[in-house]
Structure 1
Amino acid sequence: MDENALARMSRDNRLIWALCVASIVIYINLYMMQGMLPLIAERFQVSAARSTLVLSVTSFTLAFSLLIYAVVSDRIGRHKPIVWSLWALALSNLLLIYIRSFDGLVAVRLLQGVLLASLPAIAMAYFKEQLQPQTMLKAAAVYITANSFGGIVGRLLGGVLSQYFDWQSAMWVLLLVSLLGVAVTNWLLPSARSAAKREHRMRRWQFRQEGRIDLRGFLRHLQDNQMRLAYIIGGVTFMMMVNQYSFIQLRLMAEPYYWSRFQATLIFLCYSSGTIASYFTARWITRHGQLPLFKMSLVLMLAGTLLTLLENQVTICIGFLLSSCGFFVTHSCCNSFVAMRANRHRAKATSLYLCFYYFGAAMGGPYLMMFWHHSAWQGIVVGSLLLLVVIAVAVWRLGSAQRHSLSSPPQLAKVHH
């Protein structure tokens, strides 16, 4: 192997590791609050169900900020928006240390949602531009695995801190963890290619023309029927999955289980099945294609959701293991589908997908809360089954659209290297 190939491999590895570390920081900051919902309810004197809004409002601003970062990164490059927003996110945790009211907490989390959006909006486009196709699929799988790992660590960290620390001490820990992770990311992340920098500097001044191009880019993907269906599948799946985890904590802390705050967050270890599945999804896509994986995932999420109806702690955990596996395979398939289908305006394509994805998370809290107030966990299952019907219809229509298309895009067929 010559020196150029070794240098490229080293640069590719640094990019992958940098975005994975950044991803862990992002998802710790996003989901640590989910593991602290009981402490938030107690600290700010709100109901346990209302405390879930802390996650919903962050997901809401994150969803729409993704579109802004897609435009910004197309203008000035991928590197700067990621680095700047990560440092701002880490420092914004200083505000959480001294917050005094629930409304103030919601306001800060709204701001943090904007800062959290940069990496999810840019990462897949960054990989697509900098990596070879074979490396890109593997990088996407590792990156989504890091997403899952960061989410697990964040939730468990929140559970430990809410059990053994007060609010201010917990927020100091979050600040220090974030600063460390951002520093490592900053050290690992290669600088943007000089040619890309020059191109973005030249384009930055053409604001009106670029504005029209940006709008056409978003419309291009929204007019693509298969893209829309992938957006719906990812958004509705996340709408169900992430909010099931919020409400299952409330169930496990009530009778007949009486789990402690920390014990209730141990349910998030069920995400590990999704973490493992994410790593192997690229290989499965190569071997089987994406449509069979969508169908398999749907079956797993259906079986997992129904198992949680049994009044047994073991079956509840098995149910969440199955659902998490199905969810992450679905997310990985949607992510790779969008990234590989988009030949132009790649950052806009992935940001639109993630906009649907996180908007689903934001809407899922209020949606499932209605079912919770009516029938507790049985209501959550009913609400989830309705969402699974929507996902099934979208998957069926995606398969139908693929069969009737004149040319089969490679991302839904078997990928050969």
Structure 2
Amino acid sequence: MSPASTGASTTLDAASPVLTPSSDSRLTPGGPGYRRMSFALFLAGVATFALLYSTQALLPLISDDFGVAASEASWTVAAATGGLALFVLPMSALSERFGRRTVMTASLAVAVAVGLLVPFAPSIGALVALRAVQGAALAGLPASAQAYLAEEVRPRALVTAIGLFVAGNSVGGMSGRVITGWVAQMWGWRVSVGVIGVIAVGCAVAFRLLLPAPRHFKAGSLRPRVLLGTVRTHLSDPLLRRLYAIGALFMTVFGGVYTVIGYRLTGAPFGLPQGIVGSIFLVYLVGTVSASTAGRLVGRLGRRGALYLAGGTTTAGLLLSLAASLPLVLLGLVLITAGFFA
């Protein structure tokens, strides 16, 4: 019986009688496993951003609890994002050797475990240290997830699949901040970050159960010479260097704005309560939409046109965020969020 008659997506290698998977066996919208994969990575994105920025909306409360200045409390965010930035390349290398799903699972497990310890931090120093470890663990998610998608999803569906993963990031960032804001207003910041840790446990378990086993992964080398050669090749490409710089700029702007906004909105002239400030992060829903529709935007404007539009939108949002009017500040946050996630 021929492979075609069985419905198997295989081709016969001329040099061997063994049937090998063809590119047609990769996941595609409507095909088996695609929805499970999309939902699993969506949940991974939710857990990643909820944990990564779990203290951001709570910085004024953390400052008061430990009696530290805003600049010291903000290290609970900077340590997490810094740990992710420093460890994303080493974790990517581990995923090349041990597999994307393995590294993502381990990363989530460690980050969730640390997240359950964060509420018990006895000092600001201990809290910053725990957050740094958490960020380093989460570094195994972003690059590994996109590499998994590149290997397991057909090229024509790749942008949409990555958009859904990024949409999960936006949902995680939004829900984490909104939940922590209202819970903290009633029971304090420690209970609120503990709630985020419990939610992340559920996301991590569901992720591991849902994500299909990789079918196209090929283990690479962990030799330093090979890894350095790969990094050198990437950095020697002028286009890639510009893209890396854009990524660093967007993350700096986005992270900086949302780190400061809690202090600004709880202080004069706005004086908003913590729960309302947490609800401001509902604007992340705009990021969910812009990320999930980025594929269509690229189809209409091209990648360069979509990037220019995203950059212009973010810039306009930054200018509006400087206003002393609450509606203008909120509109600025909407534009910043839409541009960043696109």
2-structure distance, mates of 1:168, 1:33? 10
Q: Which moved more, 1:262-271 or 1:317-326?
A: 262-271
Q: Residue 278 of structure 2 aligns with which residue?
A: 265
1:97 aligns with 2:110: no
1:245 aligns with 2:265: no
1-structure distance, mates of 2:171, 2:115? 21
The one of 304, 310, 321 equivalent to 2:317 is 304
What is the identity, as a one-letter code, of the residue corresponding to 2:207? T
- Provide TM-score, normalisation by structure 1: 0.72
Deviation at residue 111 of structure 1 after TM alignment: 0.8
Deviations 1:183-242 (A, max 9, x none): 11111011233x74xx53xx66xx5xx322211111111110000001101111220122
What is the identity, as a one-letter code, of the residue corresponding to 1:146? G
2-structure distance, mates of 1:43, 1:247? 18
1-structure distance, mates of 2:46, 2:272? 27
Deviations 1:236-262 (A, max 9, x none): 122012211221221111122110112
**Larger RCO, structure (CA 8 Å, separation 6 or more):** 1
Q: Residue 390 of structure 1 aligns with which residue?
A: none
SS of aligned partner of 2:178: helix
Contact 2:149 2:158 (8 Å CA) reproduced: yes
Specify whether residues 62 and 315 from structure 1 end up closer, same or farther in structure 2 by C-alpha distance, changes over 3 A only: same
What is the identity, as a one-letter code, of the residue corresponding to 2:255? V
2-structure distance, mates of 1:44, 1:155? 20
Deviation at residue 40 of structure 1 after TM alignment: 1.1
| Aligned pairs (5 A) from 1:142-181 | 142-181=164-203
Q: Which moved more, 1:142-151 or 1:319-328?
A: 319-328
What is the identity, as a one-letter code, of the residue corresponding to 1:180? G
Deviation at residue 295 of structure 1 after TM alignment: 2.2
Q: Residue 88 of structure 2 aligns with which residue?
A: 66
Runs of 4+ in 1 over 6 A off after TM superposition: none
Q: Residue 99 of structure 2 aligns with which residue?
A: 77
1-structure distance, mates of 2:234, 2:265? 42
Deviations 1:121-152 (A, max 9, x none): 21111100011011211101111111111111
What is the identity, as a one-letter code, of the residue corresponding to 2:300? R
Unaligned runs of 5+ in 1: 330-417
1-structure distance, mates of 2:195, 2:271? 27
Q: Residue 280 of structure 1 aligns with which residue?
A: 293
Deviation at residue 49 of structure 1 after TM alignment: 3.4
The one of 28, 36, 61 equivalent to 1:39 is 61
Specify whether residues 249 and 10 from structure 1 end up closer, same or farther in structure 2 by C-alpha distance, changes over 3 A only: same
What is the identity, as a one-letter code, of the residue corresponding to 2:286? S
Q: Residue 215 of structure 1 aligns with which residue?
A: 228
1:316 aligns with 2:329: yes
1:133 aligns with 2:159: no
What is the identity, as a one-letter code, of the residue corresponding to 2:246? I
Contact 1:32 1:157 (8 Å CA) reproduced: no
Q: Residue 109 of structure 1 aligns with which residue?
A: 131
Deviation at residue 11 of structure 1 after TM alignment: 1.8
1-structure distance, mates of 2:257, 2:191? 28
Q: Residue 377 of structure 1 aligns with which residue?
A: none
1:124 aligns with 2:146: yes
The one of 6, 10, 22 equivalent to 2:32 is 10
1-structure distance, mates of 2:85, 2:43? 21
The one of 303, 308, 320 equivalent to 1:290 is 303
Q: Residue 210 of structure 2 aligns with which residue?
A: 188
2-structure distance, mates of 1:16, 1:148? 15
Contact 2:45 2:167 (8 Å CA) reproduced: no
1-structure distance, mates of 2:196, 2:68? 22
What is the identity, as a one-letter code, of the residue corresponding to 1:139? A
Between the two proteins, the alignment pairs up a number of residues equal to 319
1-structure distance, mates of 2:178, 2:195? 13
What is the identity, as a one-letter code, of the residue corresponding to 2:54? M
Deviation at residue 308 of structure 1 after TM alignment: 2.5
What is the identity, as a one-letter code, of the residue corresponding to 1:73? S
- Provide TM-score, normalisation by structure 2: 0.88
2-structure distance, mates of 1:93, 1:318? 32
What is the identity, as a one-letter code, of the residue corresponding to 1:43? D
Deviation at residue 273 of structure 1 after TM alignment: 2.0
